[in-house]
Amino acid sequence: MIPESVRIIRADRPEPLLALAASCGWNQTLHDCRELTNAQDAICFYAETDGEIIGSAAAKLYGENHTAFINMVVVREAWRGRKIATAMLKKLMQTLAGFRTFRLYATPAGSHVYAKLGFKTYIEMTKYIKADHHPRMPEGIQPLAEEDLAGIIALDARSFGVKREKILRYFYTQAPQFSFKCSDRNGRITGFTIGRDGPVSRAAAALTAASEQDAIRLFNAVAAAGDPAPKTHLIIPDTHTEMIRIALANGIQPSSSKLVCMEYGQPGPLPAAHYFSVLGGDFG
């Protein structure tokens, strides 16, 4: 049982979520947090005591009751070990009982908590970083335009396994200058990435490409865009061994950040062979 003074309440404003993210050194912006507290295709609960928000658990909803992607599960350090995170998670899953698959990306330590609740690991991933990386814009890489979004949303659905149009459009509109594409000789888009710029680092996110070499070029385009970023990262499934080899050869180094990908309910699709970097630990 959680302490009697703690209530699990529905979140309706993003500022406490941003504060919780910052306390963990996470990379979300206020706009990202608003996507989880106020958007129609999301849900978030807070743990509250005496007017103070001490924890959160949220989910982004993809497809028609298809996949609920759980994220932002955090409790203030002074309140940990009192089953508050478990209570928020159970409340979230009960509210979303109609969804066929629940997924989340956990830290290795946190994965043990989720395993006790019935979540099973399907893959693991690692964050790779290149610090102080200021490349020239690669040849053959073009800015992603708004009229390209329908095409890249279809590409992403094949890579991720379920359509997530709203969140891709959201991230594109937040920072279109960090989003890029590559095309074949006929002008057909064969790869893209939507860049995310946060308080900690810039990300080459939702990166789909026809080859590992194109994936690296798209990564370099994100790093080269706008003002130089102190570091740029991508999150690669550990099963993509050739991509990892080429990333290492290009000086993109593994960090200590490991993610254990877990699911509950009906098994979902695995990352496609050409899905080289996920959207993030918060949105899948």
Which one, of 191, 202, 198, lies nearest residue 31 by Cα? 198
pTM, full prediction: 0.94
Q: Which pLDDT value is given to residue 229? A: 87
Q: What is the pLDDT of residues 85-123, one digit of tens each?
A: 999 999 999 999 999 999 999 999 999 989 999 999 999
Give the pLDDT score at 267.
96
Q: Tell me which residues of the chain have a pLDDT lower than 70.
A: none
Cα 197–Cα 75–Cα 16 angle in degrees, nearest 5: 55
> What integer pLDDT is reported at residue 184 of this predicted model?
94
Full set of structural domains in the chain with CATH:
7-99 (3.40.630.30), 127-277 (3.40.630.30)
Tokens read off for 116 = 């006790």
Give Dmax over CA atoms of the chain in angstroms: 64
Q: pLDDT by residue (tens digit) across 168-205?
A: 999 999 999 999 999 999 999 999 999 999 999 999 99
What's the confidence (pLDDT) of residue 1? 83
